[in-house]
Amino acid sequence: MRLRRLAGVLMLGAAIAPNRGLFAQHAAGRPLIEPPARLGADGSRVALLPLGVRFAQRREFQWTRPNAVKALYVNAWAFGSPRLWSLVRLVDSTDINALVVDVKDDTGCLLYQSEVPTARSIGAGACARTRDVHARLDTLHAHGIYAIARIVVAKDPKLALGRPAWSVQSRDGGLWRDRIGSAWVDAYNDSVWVYAGQLAREAIGLGFAEVQFDYVRFPDEPRSRMASAIFGARRAGESPRESVRRHIRFLTDFVKPLGAPVTFDVFGLTATVTDGDLGIGQVWEDFANVADVVLPMVYPSHYTRGAFGFRSPNANPYAVVRLALTDALARSRSPNAAQIRPYLQAFTLGRRLPRYTPTEIREQIRAAHDLGIDSWVLWNPRSVYQRAALPPYPSFVGRVAASGGE
């Protein structure tokens, strides 16, 4: 009897050994939430079902993009730590349905140990943030959470150091660096974009549903600093805009055959400025005519004094976001134009007032919705979000009301 029980335990252990799905809820449709009769004041108590063997084996993901993507940005540290469970619980009890996860951030570090040859040769996986990416993606899938892989392209100090020939050089010798000392790769160099595309394909193979490329541009540095930058891969007569336009088309063609949407982050001002490329190679129409989704970063704190007529744009979140997105909509009238999914501010920048409370965050969401834009991403670099800022999940509210919860 004891031997039979031991054999059963060993078989179960073998099934769960890959650690696929660290905890799971109902797999069909939206996760099944059975809240207790009374919730805490912040509504944080969400009943979770234990891990089932059905989530312990590797499975092929079948993602369906939500009609309206409402997402939170999650840095690699948060995704690879116990904080992920708090974020999953937050998603389960609110209208959030997606997470944007750093696969490669602006340090050049990767989320996981990559099999891409360039990544292996430069040691980009040495600082990998998690060793159980499969299990964590399984958990998102089991909870009905749409997983988006964010990949930073041109700001990659690790690639710059590992491949100096692909990098921006300084006229004074060595690698060129920005104001905070970060080395950049040369956005004219095709190999830089191939590397990003290879990582995107790998991320999709792991189970991410969508790829989001960021820093698809040249450095946003003062002219005095850019004067010392040498872009060795620049083609004769090619402008920064032409290079960015050529390469975002390449990334789209490279990744799209896998069936995953290809999306790009751009400066918020890209939607408003019509007389140039902001000196970084970004022009709204170049993205809107190629991508599935364009994500303008319309953070009120990032607009300078006087923008849209406001002395303090940061103190006018509703108006600034609405005006910025109005510009974006006006320039996206073609039938095949990309969907607009803005990045909204869920952080306080330094001493700039006001502090961003749930009120300021909800005002930005309201501005987008008032224009008919019901997809958005909240950005907080620490991946800390306030429940009160997020719309509740409708059926969760209904069940709480039915049970007499407050």
Q: N- to C-terminal Cα distance for the chain?
A: 51
Mean pLDDT of all residues in 182-211: 98
User: What type of residue is 268?
Assistant: G
Q: What pLDDT is attached to residue 43?
A: 40
Give the Cα separation of 133 and 112 in Å (integer). Answer: 7
Mean pLDDT of all residues in 382-387: 96
Phi-psi region of 352 (alpha: psi -120 to 50; beta: other; left: phi over 0): beta
Contact in structure between 93 and 32 (CB atoms under 8 Å): no
Secondary structure of residue 3 in the 3-state scheme: helix
Digit-coded pLDDT (tens) for 38-72:
233 344 333 443 333 234 344 566 778 899 999 99
pTM of the model: 0.85
Residues found in the chain: 406
Contact in structure between 69 and 98 (CB atoms under 8 Å): yes
Q: What pLDDT is attached to residue 38?
A: 27
Q: How confident is the model at residue 32 (pLDDT cuts 50, 70, 90)?
A: very low
**Over the chain, what is the mean pLDDT?**
86
Higher pLDDT, 21 or 4: 21
Whether the predicted pLDDT of 367 surpasses 90: yes
Strand ranges inside 238-346, DSSP E: 262-267, 293-297, 339-340, 343-345
Q: Show the domain range for 361.
A: 2-402
Q: What pLDDT is attached to residue 399?
A: 38
Whether the predicted pLDDT of 35 surpasses 90: no
Mean pLDDT of all residues in 237-255: 98
Q: What is the CATH number of the domain that holds 219?
A: 3.20.20.80
Q: What pLDDT is attached to residue 62?
A: 73
The count of other CB atoms within 10 Å of the CB of residue 168 is 27
User: What type of residue is 312?
Assistant: S
Q: What pLDDT is attached to residue 61?
A: 65
Whether the predicted pLDDT of 403 surpasses 50: no
Mean pLDDT of all residues in 161-166: 98
Tokens of 272: 């408003």
Q: How confident is the model at residue 31 (pLDDT cuts 50, 70, 90)?
A: very low
Mean pLDDT of all residues in 167-175: 97
Q: What pLDDT is attached to residue 223?
A: 94
- Beta bridge partners, 170, equal 229
Task: Name the domain count of the chain.
Answer: 1
Contact in structure between 369 and 344 (CB atoms under 8 Å): no
Q: What share of the chain has pLDDT > 90, as a percent?
A: 78
Q: What pLDDT is attached to residue 362?
A: 97
The count of other CB atoms within 10 Å of the CB of residue 54 is 13
| DSSP-derived pairing of the beta strands 293-297 and 229-230 | unpaired
Q: How confident is the model at residue 37 (pLDDT cuts 50, 70, 90)?
A: very low
